[in-house]
Amino acid sequence: MIQRPRGTRDILPPESRLWHAVEATAHRVFQAFGAEEIRTPTFEHTELFVRSVGETTDIVHKEMYTFADRKGRSLTLRPEGTAGVARAFLENALQDRPLPLRLYYMGPMFRYERMQKGRFREFRQIGLEILGAASPLADAECLLVLFEFFQALGFQDLVVHLNNLGDPPDRAALGHCLREFFTPHAAQLCSDCQRRLEENPLRVLDCKVPSCQELAHRAPTVEAVAGEASKAHVAEVEELLRRLDIPYQRNPRLVRGLDYYVRTVFEVVAPQWGPSTVICGGGRYDRLLADLGGPDLPGVGFAVGEDRLVEILPESFRNAVFGEARLQLVPLGGASAAALELARKLVRQGVPVDVEVGGRSLKAALKRADKLRRRWVAILGEEELAQRVVSLRDLTEGAQRLVPWEQLAQALAGGQNREPARHQGTGSQH
């Protein structure tokens, strides 16, 4: 039997309903804040990620799925979403539209990473970018949209970890300070960080190896070299977060894993799942569009790891998704075509319907409905068909009554909003 490739997963029902609900919530919240969806290719020219993400990053060094097409051109499955959005922005001259432009995306990304819980080589991200706004207000709006999304999913105790990465000259100065600090301790660094020390010392701060982390906690921070402009920018972001009651804390060691970030960088942590449970990251990238050959326009955005997000969804959201009322409609005798007609009417009225199309007996159909934890079963036999009614059975109460087709949606809605009664209903007996 052929199995799925290592690092991928099958998202099966009913869990797939959670994914759909999360994505529907993202569409609703992001669009409410003026964002529009953009869909970019799953693979791009490799040069795009080398130039944007950074040649010295682990993503480019070790994690990209890169291949040559039949004409020898180097292509890469996208490891993140921002670079593709930036490329599409420039290629389609979106800078000619009224700015700023708010764009969001969702879909699969690919990185060849070490396998561990919650991490996959094909994973999914939900992201949003604000392009063409240099103000700290745009950074704060990003985090506001993000927290409205999380609150709509039922999260209550999330915290923003925030840092200032400075402007490009500040990053260069910090790199020099870090190289001076780490060089005498190079033997204590892992092999990857020994390479990073030469290529890009900031990457050492992002290492997860304990010995490297211990050194990183004693290393200089960007605050030692940051200019007044970047300090003022991030300070204003913090003030806006305070006024919006969005919980945050400064994390001077936060650098993120991508080279295009400047000034504001952030991660969102779910403390109840452990200090390392990061479900979102983002920041400002004011040089990215220019580095890709476009105009000198600023940008800021975030990406949410959907796999991790679904894994830790609050029970309130899960219960709402899985608690959706779905009617089991059981045709008997010659009522099959009429059952489909009735199902169409109900679906158009917003009632989810599962028609019994397997030819089961009533007893077997009721047994299946019980296994699926259905509350409502509508029985449509020839007697009911003649009267254009159904025998509506409430499996929770054990009650049954006749309901006209035209009143069925209303009856189901009313039944959802009342406490189960403890009596037997009237109606036809099946």
Q: Which tens digit of pLDDT belongs to each residue from 333-382? A: 999 999 999 999 999 999 999 999 998 999 999 999 988 888 999 999 99
Residues 378 and 294 reside in one and the same domain: no
Write the burial class of residue 134 (CB in 10 Å: 0-12 exposed, 13-18 middle, 19+ buried): middle
Residues 142 and 275 reside in one and the same domain: yes
Per-residue confidence (pLDDT) for residue 420, from 0 to 100:
39
- What CATH number corresponds to the domain at position 403? 3.40.50.800
> Could you give the CA distance from residue 132 to residue 148 in angstroms, rounded to a whole number?
22
Per-residue confidence (pLDDT) for residue 305, from 0 to 100:
94
Confirm whether 197 is domain-assigned: no
Residues 76 and 50 reside in one and the same domain: yes
Structure tokens at 292: 């890709």
Residues 24 and 91 reside in one and the same domain: yes
Write the burial class of residue 187 (CB in 10 Å: 0-12 exposed, 13-18 middle, 19+ buried): exposed
Domain end: 317, 351, 381, which one? 317
Could you give phi then psi for residue 359, rounded to 5 degrees? 70, 20
Range of the domain at 245: 15-167+226-317
Per-residue confidence (pLDDT) for residue 1, from 0 to 100:
95
CA angle 45, 50, 55 (to 5 degrees): 160
Per-residue confidence (pLDDT) for residue 270, from 0 to 100:
86
- DSSP annotation string for 228-293: HHHHHHHHHHHHHHHHTT--EEE-TT---S-TT-EEEEEEEE-GGG-TT-EEEEEEE-TTHHHHTT
Residues 251 and 399 reside in one and the same domain: no
Confirm whether 190 is domain-assigned: no
Confirm whether 195 is domain-assigned: no
Place of tokens 């609703």: 28
Per-residue confidence (pLDDT) for residue 191, from 0 to 100:
86
Confirm whether 198 is domain-assigned: no
> Could you give the CA distance from residue 119 to residue 196 in angstroms, rounded to a whole number?
24
Confirm whether 184 is domain-assigned: no
Confirm whether 363 is domain-assigned: yes
> Could you give the CA distance from residue 281 to residue 278 in angstroms, rounded to a whole number?
8
Residues 334 and 391 reside in one and the same domain: yes
Considering only the C-alpha atoms of the chain, give the largest distance between any 2 of them, rounded to a whole number of Å: 90
Whether the per-residue pLDDT at 419 is higher than 80: the answer is: no
Name the 3-class secondary structure at 34.
Answer: coil
Residues 267 and 400 reside in one and the same domain: no
- What CATH number corresponds to the domain at position 244? 3.30.930.10
pTM of the full predicted structure? 0.87
Q: How many CB atoms lie within 10 A of CB 325?
A: 13
Residues 241 and 309 reside in one and the same domain: yes
Residues 69 and 130 reside in one and the same domain: yes
Q: In what order do the strands lie in the sheet with 376-380?
A: 353-355, 327-331, 376-380, 389-394, 399-404
**CA proximity to 131, closest of 298, 285, 276:** 298
Residues 334 and 301 reside in one and the same domain: no
Q: What is the DSSP letter of 407?
A: G
Residues 383 and 234 reside in one and the same domain: no
For 265, 348, 377, the CA distances from 373, given in Å and listed in that order, are 45, 23, 11
Domain end: 284, 317, 350, which one? 317
Peptide bond into 210 cis (omega under 30): no
Domain end: 317, 342, 365, which one? 317
Per-residue confidence (pLDDT) for residue 159, from 0 to 100:
93
Count of domains in the chain? 2
For residue range 293-305, what is the model confidence (pLDDT) as tens digits?
A: 999 999 999 999 9
Confirm whether 389 is domain-assigned: yes
Indicate the length of the chain as a whole number.
430
Residues 68 and 137 reside in one and the same domain: yes
Confirm whether 49 is domain-assigned: yes
For residue range 182-236, what is the model confidence (pLDDT) as tens digits?
A: 999 888 889 888 888 888 888 788 787 888 888 888 888 888 888 999 999 999 9
